[in-house]
Amino acid sequence: MARLLVEGGLRLNGKVEVSGSKNSLLPIIAAAAMATEGESHIENVAPYTDVLDLCQILRELGATVEWEGETSLRIEASRLNGWVAPYVLARRLRGSSYLLGLLLARMGKAEVAIPGGCEIGSRPIDYHMRGLGMLGAVTRVERGAVLAETDGLRGATIYVDRASVGTTVNLMLAGSTADGVTVLDNAAREPEIVDLANFLNGMGAHVRGAGTSLVRIEGVRSLAGTRHEAIPDRIEAGTYLLSAVTGRGKVRVEKMIPEHLRAFLLKLEEAGAKVGEGTDWVEVEAEAGLMGIDIQTQPYPGFPTDLHPLFVGVLTLAPGVSVVEETIFDNRFGYAGELIRMGANIKIERSTAIVRGTDKLTGAPLEITDLRGGAALILAAMAAEGTSELDGINFLERGYYQLEARLNSLGASIRRSGD
């Protein structure tokens, strides 16, 4: 199995670009298969393994999904004819839950494995099932999969529990061609939801209010292919910006949207980093490191849960006590034990990490068990004395593309061994 060897203690400086947002691409690729005519061209696509897996599922359901060059996908789904998603592929990624909305809309029935994904909590899909039920689907769980069926989806007004991102996506897909109007109250407001709405509207849908808590979808008869460029990945951008802290240097991230990271950037400034920005770039300078701060994760526009592990990683070296509360997922601290192996002082109490800053971390053999926790370990290893060996790098490939190469271009030393 391949592993990463990370040499710590190197100073980072330079510029880096980010790829398209994984969490935008997954719903958009599923939405592209809603088209009964024409083809979609989706740009700014990176070959994250989650994206590759979803594309493969769509192929097995009868769609044509092809790469056009390195960063663009062509999707043609007029002949989509399957309704059973291949179990092993579907259970690998959370984004496969979007197949429920898609297949109910296109085929009137769906069988999709209960999605797995990263080990960050129990992550049920009861909100998705309840919402789809209100649109006229009958759902049940059998042999590890959700079976759903409808004699025709009908618009309804639905309260989205906990402003769930995935539920909002599924109901936007299902509502787009449902009979009548669907209103999502307490909808997720993430930028990825807005991106999906723009894509669906390009296909001929009538989605209004995306980015607010109230999304209104007027069902249309059918959707057609369109062209779209996915938004930049805000979590990848945040990852490189935090590398300026572990690398005690200055890092500029280009081709990003600063507004999508506002809460994170304000927290970085509060912790003592110098933050500069233009329309599509942000620069962080943190030669002196950070000071301890308190953070609570929240749905957008609050501080993103996906950046909590990375922030905890850098706060392990920040003087003072930091209190980081995770409010979205029930078990997102898997990485903390590995940071403790490196000499970090972290106590987990229920949903909160209490971090007492230490003077130094030391390299260690480390095990990655989830995507963002893995990135947190890489950043910590870059700040540690000596070399760290990281196993479980398949988790990183779910949502980062060329992570080592990009960090190395800033001055890090990360090598792959044992491929």
* Least Å from the CB of residue 6 to ligand EPU: 20
Burial of 41 (0-12, 13-18, 19+ CB in 10 A): middle
CA distance 314 to 312: 5
The count of chain residues that interact with ligand EPU, using the rule CB under 6 A, is 25
Q: Does 199 bind ligand EPU (CB under 6 A)?
A: no
Return the residue nearest ligand EPU (CB atom).
166
Q: Does 371 bind ligand EPU (CB under 6 A)?
A: yes
Q: Does 127 bind ligand EPU (CB under 6 A)?
A: yes
The 39-78 site mask, x for binding ligand EPU (CB under 6 A), equals: ----------------------------------------
Q: Does 19 bind ligand EPU (CB under 6 A)?
A: no
Q: Does 126 bind ligand EPU (CB under 6 A)?
A: yes
Sequence letter at residue 90? A
Q: Does 308 bind ligand EPU (CB under 6 A)?
A: no
State phi, psi for 359 to the nearest 5 degrees: -75, -35
What's the CA dihedral at 294, 300, 305, 310 to 10 degrees? Answer: -70
Sequence letter at residue 382? M
Q: Does 125 bind ligand EPU (CB under 6 A)?
A: yes
Angle at CA 12, nearest 5°, toward 354 and 358?
25
Residue selected from 83, 199, 311, 329 as contacting ligand EPU according to rule CB under 6 A: 329
Peptide bond before 301: cis, by omega within 30 degrees of 0?
yes
Q: Does 92 bind ligand EPU (CB under 6 A)?
A: no
Burial of 302 (0-12, 13-18, 19+ CB in 10 A): middle
Residue selected from 79, 162, 415, 416 as contacting ligand EPU according to rule CB under 6 A: 162
Q: Does 23 bind ligand EPU (CB under 6 A)?
A: yes
Question: Across the chain, which distance is largest between two alpha carbons, in Å?
Answer: 63
Q: Does 399 bind ligand EPU (CB under 6 A)?
A: yes
* Least Å from the CB of residue 297 to ligand EPU: 9
In this complex, which beta carbon is closest to ligand EPU, that of residue 217 or of residue 396? 396
Query: Which residues, 6+ apart, have CB-to-CB distance to 69 below 8 Å?
Result: none
In this complex, which beta carbon is closest to ligand EPU, that of residue 23 or of residue 243? 23
In this complex, which beta carbon is closest to ligand EPU, that of residue 186 or of residue 305? 305
Q: Does 305 bind ligand EPU (CB under 6 A)?
A: yes
Q: Does 79 bind ligand EPU (CB under 6 A)?
A: no
Stretch that binds ligand EPU, among 122-130, 136-144, 402-410, 411-419 (CB under 6 A): 122-130
Q: Does 150 bind ligand EPU (CB under 6 A)?
A: no
Residue selected from 164, 182, 198, 316 as contacting ligand EPU according to rule CB under 6 A: 164
Tokens 């030669």 — which residue?
287
Q: Does 14 bind ligand EPU (CB under 6 A)?
A: no
Q: Does 95 bind ligand EPU (CB under 6 A)?
A: yes
* Least Å from the CB of residue 188 to ligand EPU: 6
* Least Å from the CB of residue 125 to ligand EPU: 4
State phi, psi for 184 to the nearest 5 degrees: -105, 110
* Least Å from the CB of residue 328 to ligand EPU: 5
Residue selected from 6, 10, 26, 171 as contacting ligand EPU according to rule CB under 6 A: 26
In this complex, which beta carbon is closest to ligand EPU, that of residue 132 or of residue 414? 132
In this complex, which beta carbon is closest to ligand EPU, that of residue 235 or of residue 364? 235
Cβ atoms within 10 Å, residue 411: 16
What's the CA dihedral at 203, 205, 208, 210 to 10 degrees? Answer: -50
Stretch that binds ligand EPU, among 3-11, 121-129, 213-221, 344-352 (CB under 6 A): 121-129
Residues assigned a catalytic role:
118
Footprint on this chain of ligand EPU (rule: CB under 6 A): 22-23, 26, 94-95, 118, 121, 123-128, 162, 164-167, 305-306, 328-329, 371-372, 399
